[in-house]
Structure 1
Amino acid sequence: MADARTDPRSASIAAIRRYLQLRDWKETATKNDAITLFYSTIEGERLEVPLPTRRDFEGAERLISDALRTLSQLAEREAAELADDINSLGFDRIRSIIPDEQVRADSIDLNVATNFILSARRLVTATATNELVPSTFYGRITKDALAYTERCRFGHTFRGSFGFTIESPVIQNDEPPLPGIPQTPPFERRVIQRLVRGLHDVQKAEATENPGIIAENYERGFNANMCEALVDLISGTSDRLAIEVAWSPEWRPSPDVPSAPVFHIKPVTVEIVRDAANSLRRAETARELDILGKVIRLKSEHNPADLLDLTSPREIVIQWMSDEFGPLNVKVNLSPTDYIAALEAHRTGQMVSITGVLERINRTWILSYPKNVQIQF
């Protein structure tokens, strides 16, 4: 038997029941414990939809097909399309549509698909991390954010306009809404709402040519990590993506997000978002810190022992385990004397401590204005 999740012609019994419940259909038992009856009054006429309670009896597949056909006629949609939506009731869905010029015979290049999946995963994980602990950027992802990402699904690609679907799970909402009292959405819904707010900020930043709109709203939208993940997704997939979000009917979207969000990526998007990421990184990291670690790389174009040569850069890279940012490789340009000390520390395997101003420029961590270079014996 075909799996109800992968067979586009079918849907699970539980999903069809939930679809009917969300539309206020009533349920009643029948004399046959293998069949339950749903009914509703539509335009003054009582309609009935019998459903099997389990799939392992003769006639179950026919009842499911009949139910889908009836419901698709009421919704004026194709049965296969409705079945796919029913199976995804417990998920918020993000659809990314690839432009037609990149599609050949209903397919795209494998490297484009691979990059999309990896970058989309990064974007989802970054969004979850920022929802848990809002900040201009973070050094490491949280276990809870990673666990959430693992629960997301990669849905069917869809024809016509070729694209990918990412499905974010939401828990079933068993509490009826009370008038005037907003419900607190689950964490999974809040993650996707943050993504939507951030994309909305991106569009406003494009319209005004002001990346500061993105940066100033990091507490509710994009932080630097989310910006960088979006840049990677666009750069490796297409700079003319369309992104649509379909909310699960289990929870109403918050008033500050649209009910049917649609975003169009433009070529200018990459530069706007990259500028916002750089701004967010500088705002947090441009401060004096002490770093401690082993020298893992040294670079000098001329004789490093020539203490009188002040024109040739002497660069080292220190592997630093930061409590705040996680493991970092930090570049430092040193004076001739300090470079010789770092060279000795590298030779003997000793650690080096340096004080300076930590900055992140693009994806490179740099310690500027170094001082107090000391070998830790």
Structure 2
Amino acid sequence: MIRSDKRFLKNIDRVRLFDLKNYLYRKGWKQSANNGQKWQIFKFDVDSTNSLDLILPSNESFIDFRERIQQSIEALSQIEDKSVSELLAELMVENADSVKLRLKVPKSVNSLPIEDASRHIKAIKNLFLYSGCSEIKNFPHFEQPLPAAQEFLSDFEFCHTFRGSFGFEVSSTIIKEKEDRDLFEIPSNRRIVERIARGLSALDQAVRSDDPDILISSYETALNARMCDALTQIGLGGQINFAVDIDWANILEPSEDVLFFHGLTIGEAQVSILNYASEKLKVVEPTMQEISGRVVNLHCVANPSEGGARRSVAIKVDHSEHGLIEVRLALGPDAYLQAIKAHTEGRELVASGQLQRKGNTWSLDAITSVREGLESNK
């Protein structure tokens, strides 16, 4: 009986009435009658003379709603000659994309260090967050997540971990009941998952061809640098292999280029490509620019007026293209004193030179001028 199946009871909460009705419509059932506030009848014509009726509650407000849904699923499993678990698995992806990440740990391991678990979860969050960033702007790298991308995360939720090994499941509903949107527009949460799938496909091709440029050149539609970082961090930098599997919602077919993608295992070869691609995507070739920002760090271990002293300054720059970045400058004695004065007086420092980024580090080289700017209000 269904009531004795704890796994079923655990997952039944993920089946909404809206999803069950969509499943019935897709399978050829038609709504034939309803009693307004209490119930609704769906009919399936077996042949010209025989039909089947299925009674569903009219809404989810009734105390016995879950019990009624269980009974309906049990009846459907008999009608379709499927096990309850098979039918439930279909219903859970009727209207929701499911991204499953399974850690490949030895069978003897029965727990995870809590610090490692938080690192896995943070990396998974970043994978979706920075995928959302690329849906807003096609940048190869993001210093910080875009504020608008944070809003996309509300469309995703962690589900119960699944049986076997250690795993995480992230689910996102495709169509919300009574949602007012353009039905011809792909929802943002589906585009985010498709970008992840597209990136994993490109990663697989890059590994098979031993050509990381396949992954690097596809950043506009696939993985940006932060997404590469997130994938490596899910496996704790290569310490743990893990599998990523995607079940697409039945209600909306995915884009053609990811239609047949279902999963990939991330191991040593994949992490190596991801690390390389991330570094390359973070590189910004030197260009002559004038930057300005508040001084956030001054460092000189010797007398700054001495010619051989190493004088470094960091300024926080709100760059029109790269966002909020911290840029390092190596300065001569006079320019360093100007930086100290600007910092003391709360003014910005303005400098011209070759701005570039290597990895996560921004620097201004070949500096041609340094001066005090406007009073900083930050």
Which TM-score bucket, shorter chain as reference?
0.7 to 0.9
- Contact 1:9 1:80 (C-alpha < 8 Å) held by counterparts: no
- Contact 1:356 1:368 (C-alpha < 8 Å) held by counterparts: yes
- Aligned partner of 1:36 in structure 2 is 40
Deviates more, 1:32-41 or 1:123-132: 32-41
Distance 1:128 1:268 in 2: 26
Find 1:337's aligned residue among 325, 334, 339.
334
SS at match of 2:77: helix
Alignment of 1:297-336 (within 5 A): 297-307=297-307, 309=308, 312-336=309-333
Cα-to-partner distance string for 1:196-250 (whole Å, 9 max, x where unaligned): 1111111111222222111111121112232223233332685411000111111
- Aligned partner of 1:292 in structure 2 is 292
Alignment of 1:141-290 (within 5 A): 141-171=145-175, 184-235=185-236, 238-282=239-283, 284-290=284-290
Question: 1:69 Cα shift?
Answer: 1.2
- Identity rate, percent: 25
Distance 1:112 1:226 in 2: 19
The residue identity in structure 1 corresponding to 2:338 is A
Deviates more, 1:189-198 or 1:233-242: 233-242
SS at match of 1:101: coil
SS at match of 2:275: helix
Alignment of 1:339-354 (within 5 A): 339-354=336-351
* TM-score, normalization by structure 1: 0.84
Cα-to-partner distance string for 1:146-179 (whole Å, 9 max, x where unaligned): 21112211111111232101112322699xxxxx
- Contact 2:280 2:359 (C-alpha < 8 Å) held by counterparts: no
- Contact 2:238 2:271 (C-alpha < 8 Å) held by counterparts: no
- Aligned partner of 1:179 in structure 2 is none
- Aligned partner of 2:354 in structure 1 is 357
Question: 1:369 Cα shift?
Answer: 1.8
Find 1:101's aligned residue among 97, 106, 131.
106
Cα-to-partner distance string for 1:51-106 (whole Å, 9 max, x where unaligned): 2224566875554222111333456655356446525533211000011328733x
- CA distance change for structure 1 residues 75 and 213 in 2, over 3 Å: closer, same or farther? farther
Distance 2:288 2:197 in 1: 35
Distance 1:82 1:102 in 2: 29
Find 2:76's aligned residue among 71, 74, 79.
71
- CA distance change for structure 1 residues 17 and 91 in 2, over 3 Å: closer, same or farther? same
Question: 1:24 Cα shift?
Answer: 2.2
The residue identity in structure 2 corresponding to 1:262 is G
SS at match of 1:279: helix
Distance 2:198 2:171 in 1: 18
Question: 1:257 Cα shift?
Answer: 0.9
Distance 2:60 2:222 in 1: 44
- Contact 2:36 2:58 (C-alpha < 8 Å) held by counterparts: no
SS at match of 1:297: strand
SS at match of 2:268: coil
- CA distance change for structure 1 residues 357 and 158 in 2, over 3 Å: closer, same or farther? same
Distance 2:144 2:297 in 1: 23
Cα-to-partner distance string for 1:229-287 (whole Å, 9 max, x where unaligned): 323333268541100011111111111113351111011322311221222222x4532
The residue identity in structure 2 corresponding to 1:337 is D
Question: 1:360 Cα shift?
Answer: 2.2
- Contact 1:112 1:237 (C-alpha < 8 Å) held by counterparts: no
- CA distance change for structure 1 residues 143 and 339 in 2, over 3 Å: closer, same or farther? closer
* TM-score, normalization by structure 2: 0.84
Distance 2:139 2:326 in 1: 21
The residue identity in structure 1 corresponding to 2:256 is P
- Contact 1:131 1:191 (C-alpha < 8 Å) held by counterparts: yes
- CA distance change for structure 1 residues 368 and 31 in 2, over 3 Å: closer, same or farther? closer
Kindly indicate whether residue 53 of structure 2 is the aligned counterpart of residue 53 of structure 1.
Answer: no
Q: How many residues end up aligned between the 2 structures?
A: 362
- CA distance change for structure 1 residues 12 and 293 in 2, over 3 Å: closer, same or farther? closer
SS at match of 1:189: helix
Q: Which runs of 5+ in 2 are unaligned?
A: none
- Aligned partner of 1:177 in structure 2 is none
Question: 1:336 Cα shift?
Answer: 3.2
Distance 1:259 1:235 in 2: 28
Distance 1:376 1:139 in 2: 24
- Aligned partner of 2:133 in structure 1 is 129
The residue identity in structure 2 corresponding to 1:8 is N
- Contact 2:293 2:315 (C-alpha < 8 Å) held by counterparts: yes
Question: 1:142 Cα shift?
Answer: 3.5
Kindly indicate whether residue 366 of structure 2 is the aligned counterpart of residue 369 of structure 1.
Answer: yes
- CA distance change for structure 1 residues 373 and 33 in 2, over 3 Å: closer, same or farther? closer
Q: Which runs of 5+ in 1 are unaligned?
A: 175-181
- CA distance change for structure 1 residues 57 and 204 in 2, over 3 Å: closer, same or farther? closer
Distance 2:292 2:246 in 1: 45
Distance 1:77 1:103 in 2: 34
- Contact 1:131 1:190 (C-alpha < 8 Å) held by counterparts: yes
